[in-house]
Homo-oligomer: A and B are copies of this chain.
């Protein structure tokens, strides 16, 4: 489609009867044109000024839509060369079901099944909804969940499986019917009490057990929070860079994502900036994800004041707060909040193991009852017998001792990785983030294509993640690699890094 043709095409499709806001229509039309391939990769979109003029709409509307599409990954904005359509084929990683499902029912088809109908579906009637397309456009799911240097993966082989098995067996020998049924809204009271006690001590979180809402992890925690508190079209601030999974979740909830940069002190917003007041602000104050710095106390106070003044919700993801090597952590933002504006998000995925699917929210007292009811209505939770096992595990002190033990192991692995980096690159490549967490960021010069480097590395057997992909605008983002050291035994770190170093050196062009 040519640029002038695009204006005509949009002109014909925009409904001006007030049934739907123009910005939303424009966003959906452009998104679908990108996804369907009508606007092929690398097509240059008209300037916001030109398109606004041709459609007879406000230029700010077009700017806003281009920005949203950039955040979703549909287009890429480059200074000087305008806005171009992203290459979605490279964006999406393969999933195991690909080959077969695209080809109709295949060899197992029943007589009378029309394969032709399936093919037609793939292009026409099997269209997803715009929110579904937005979700998938931003989705990025790794095919690998283990090994050097996969970030965000704890060492699950160190989990005290025998202890867990013993506690579970005690339950299985005399199963209580209540534990095998649906869980009560908010989760099993005993586990909520045990976690509240743990959070008060370990994280200075101020809470009663009723404020704890058990979930299946941070994804569900954020889903529940935004479905209960935010409306479609409302603005939500995300740190830039941030965990990529947030962008797809938020897109499917039809939140309008505003990426806000971070500096050495954390989230660096401009008061009275160009955007309306956000309904929610997602932050990782303990250990910025993925860069690793801690939000300063001054910034925390300023953020709380902002939220109090404007009535925004702060969603505090207390990511990686358990694993600090040397320094003591600042207490959670939630503990400083005297106005009930902070929703605290925690998870046992990194502390115990991800497959457990156990996370939690700490919500202000005024919301506790409604969150418990909302969670039950939306998800009909269960796994109460597993929650009971976990309560036993915490009460008997196993959680505390496991965290202490893993802190020692991870610290040792971090040192081994830092040493390997130094041996190969001396001081030429900087390491970002403070002494904490399960990964570090190896900074790279701007000319290095970190996405291509990650692909090379994976082909050579080492999984890493490119830093630019965590940014709202990958094209203009700083380059680097996230290296997870938590799920690699120390003796495996030097040889694995040697493999990676060869790929890095080749791309550095030195």
Question: What residues of chain A have their CB less than 8 Å away from a CB belonging to chain B?
Answer: 17-21, 92, 95-98, 100-106, 108-110, 112-114, 117-118, 121-122, 125-126, 128-132, 135-136, 138-141, 143, 145-146, 153, 156-157, 159, 161-162, 164-165, 168-169, 172-173, 175, 177-186, 189, 206-208, 210-211, 216-220, 223, 227-232, 234, 245, 248-249, 252, 254, 279, 311, 335, 338-341, 349, 353-357, 364-370, 372-374, 376-385, 487
Would you mind naming 5 contact pairs between A and B with Cβ atoms under 8 Å apart?
A: A95-B184, A103-B365, A139-B377, A156-B175, A223-B378
What residues on B are CB-neighbors of A228 within 8 Å? 128-129, 132, 135
Chain B residue at smallest Cβ distance from A21: B19
Bound form: Cα–Cα A354–B384 in Å? 10
Contact A145 B182 (CB under 8 A): yes
CB A170 to nearest CB in B, in angstroms, measures 10
Bound form: Cα–Cα A341–B230 in Å? 32
* Given A95-B373, A145-B178, 18 new contacts (CB under 8 A): A18-B18, A18-B21, A95-B376, A96-B372, A100-B208, A117-B340, A121-B366, A126-B364, A139-B374, A141-B377, A156-B180, A162-B173, A165-B168, A165-B172, A180-B354, A181-B354, A223-B378, A248-B377
Chain B residue at smallest Cβ distance from A200: B108
The 10 closest A-B pairs by CB, nearest first: A18-B18, A101-B368, A355-B382, A132-B228, A139-B377, A156-B180, A145-B181, A97-B210, A165-B172, A180-B353
Chain B residue at smallest Cβ distance from A223: B378
Chain B residue at smallest Cβ distance from A147: B177
CB A20 to nearest CB in B, in angstroms, measures 7
Contact B254 A227 (CB under 8 A): no
Candidate in A183, A252, A378 with the most chain B CB atoms within 10 angstroms: A378
Bound form: Cα–Cα A60–B329 in Å? 59
Candidate in A138, A189, A230, A340 with the most chain B CB atoms within 10 angstroms: A340
CB A389 to nearest CB in B, in angstroms, measures 11
Bound form: Cα–Cα A135–B17 in Å? 29
What residues on B are CB-neighbors of A92 within 8 Å? 373
Contact A132 B227 (CB under 8 A): yes
What residues on B are CB-neighbors of A377 within 8 Å? 135-136, 138-141, 245, 248-249, 252
Bound form: Cα–Cα A226–B106 in Å? 26
Contact A180 B159 (CB under 8 A): yes
What residues on B are CB-neighbors of A341 within 8 Å? 125
What residues on B are CB-neighbors of A164 within 8 Å? 172
Contact A227 B364 (CB under 8 A): no
Task: Indicate which residue in B145, B146, B367, B380 contacts A217 across the interface (CB closer than 8 Å).
Answer: B380
Bound form: Cα–Cα A108–B193 in Å? 13
Task: Indicate which residue in B95, B98, B114, B249 contacts A338 across the interface (CB closer than 8 Å).
Answer: B114
Contact B227 A131 (CB under 8 A): yes
What residues on B are CB-neighbors of A186 within 8 Å? 95-97
Given contacts A18-B21, A114-B338, contact A374 B135 (CB under 8 A): yes
Bound form: Cα–Cα A156–B180 in Å? 7
Contact A135 B227 (CB under 8 A): yes
Contact A97 B374 (CB under 8 A): no
Contact A117 B254 (CB under 8 A): no
